[in-house]
Structure 1
């Protein structure tokens, strides 16, 4: 997600990446070890993938960007639904949850943006109350320079993440699966997680920052008590969730924490995001990389790397839920 949009204000002043310190490693369990490994192998990657075109208008299964045919590059298809309402989307899963350590736990996955938003500018531009102020319902999201969209990326990773979590026994719900004309708005996305009584919610994104800005970051809710927003009860558990996801993301993907926000920790606290402000359950956002940087884009368009991203996020969620 670009910083310009309903849940993002204009970019923060760029900060140069600093090497991770011991303090940063303590803040993000496992991150330092992953970063050392990252440096040792000369950075992330399995070679650049072949970027795909724009998001499919149907929201259907996606073709792996790198053209490979391994099982890791075959995401499950979208959730079957009988209508386009948020209610049906939020309550649907591709298969019954398996018996496993997360049986009885509910995880809501929030794929950032909707592939059809660009066709409904009036609807997504209307303002909604996020507690602290009013912001646009949603945006179209960003894309790589070659046209691979953030909405396509987030749905692909969401499908992969759902499969991994269901194998652990979790009940997984989506806020949208490309199965509705637009949205949902950022306030409705929060309400879907709240209504589900989710044990954890993760909103999936990719950034649209300047070329040369690289790496991932996890966005945590700040303490907000204004209007309909009261994040006090979720600040601590959301930080725990975010730290675990950041640590496992480094370890599994080999990607470095952001070099432009977060001071090298991979963690950023925000008070201006409706999806976090209005949540009453533990929730974080993850920006998996910068779609506008060619090196990050090569990762984001690789099906094999997206499988690693899903596994890194999944392992962080599992660690959080198992304590």
Structure 2
């Protein structure tokens, strides 16, 4: 498994030789590697959604369709909810990214009674002018399926949605997240969709359709599968997952920095 140090992301010190012999060298902290970067983490659903069916059931415009504002999400057979899982995971990822200098915005932090709607979630990433948006989820597929997958935006041009500018960078983000999440957790690509690639392209998700910045979803495992549910319920696994996600995001940002500047 790669680590922050392996990616060159450890905090370091710059030693500057003193001009006067015998004097101590200046010790200056190097800039934090993710300084100046903004990442938006979108913890799927909300623990309070179930108590607000009318609010989350209201239809909103996702560009090419009208869909419910939000849903309750899924849960394991033992009652560990997707909303609790995603919020815990988001907080772990945030701590890792902030330690490397990033500005991290959560679409909610357990501070709202329900929601926000998928439209507002997308708007938060857009308003932050995020370098990357990652929506965190747990799937609720048939119990015999297992594994994780990353969801990428399709080309959608409808109503207020136009994903054409973000399709290519979102794919690069998704590939980076997929690689480091798999390495950190040992979780295989989903066996029940995506053709065994760990990738899906979808045109029905408001969080992707309405985004103007690179964005992906990750379904971290199938909460209806006994083995996946056990892993996702364990704090140690969630910490490993958080490292994988943070590493993937950082790797994407590093590759983005190395891309040539487009001609004006």
Q: Same fold (TM over 0.5)?
A: yes
- 2 CA distance for matches of 1:184 and 1:268? 24
- 2 CA distance for matches of 1:180 and 1:301? 23
Please tell me whether residue 105 in structure 1 is matched to residue 37 in structure 2: yes
Max radius of gyration: which structure? 2
Runs of 4+ with >6 A deviation: none
Please tell me whether residue 314 in structure 1 is matched to residue 263 in structure 2: no
Please tell me whether residue 246 in structure 1 is matched to residue 199 in structure 2: no
Q: Which residue of 2 aligns with 1:157?
A: 89
Q: Which residue of 2 aligns with 1:13?
A: none
What is the aligned-residue RMSD (CA, Å)? 1.2
Q: Which residue of 2 aligns with 1:220?
A: 152
Q: Which residue of 2 aligns with 1:258?
A: 190
Q: Which residue of 2 aligns with 1:66?
A: none
- 2 CA distance for matches of 1:176 and 1:239? 25
Structure 1 regions of 5+ residues with no counterpart?
A: 1-29, 31-97
Q: Which gives a bigger RCO, structure 1 or 2 (Cα 8 Å, sep 6+)?
A: 1
Q: Which residue of 1 aligns with 2:222?
A: 290
Deviation at 1:262, TM superposition (A): 1.1
- 1 CA distance for matches of 2:108 and 2:167? 25
Match of 2:53 among 121, 124, 128: 121
Please tell me whether residue 202 in structure 1 is matched to residue 134 in structure 2: yes
Give per-residue Cα distances to partners, 1:34-89, cap 9 Å, x unaligned: xxxxxxxxxxxxxxxxxxxxxxxxxxxxxxxxxxxxxxxxxxxxxxxxxxxxxxxx
Superposition TM-score, scaled by structure 2 size: 0.85
- 2 CA distance for matches of 1:142 and 1:239? 26
- 1 CA distance for matches of 2:195 and 2:100? 33
Match of 2:75 among 143, 147, 152: 143
Q: Which residue of 2 aligns with 1:170?
A: 102
Cα pair 1:99 1:168 within 8 Å, conserved: no
Structure 2 regions of 5+ residues with no counterpart?
A: 3-29, 256-264
Counting matched residue pairs gives: 227
Cα pair 1:202 1:284 within 8 Å, conserved: yes
- 2 CA distance for matches of 1:269 and 1:222? 5
Please tell me whether residue 237 in structure 1 is matched to residue 169 in structure 2: yes
SS in 2 for 1:147: coil
Give per-residue Cα distances to partners, 1:5-61, cap 9 Å, x unaligned: xxxxxxxxxxxxxxxxxxxxxxxxx9xxxxxxxxxxxxxxxxxxxxxxxxxxxxxxx
Deviation at 1:168, TM superposition (A): 1.4
- 1 CA distance for matches of 2:84 and 2:102? 24
Give per-residue Cα distances to partners, 1:241-274, cap 9 Å, x unaligned: 0000001111111110000111111110001111
Task: Name the one with the larger strand percent.
Answer: 2
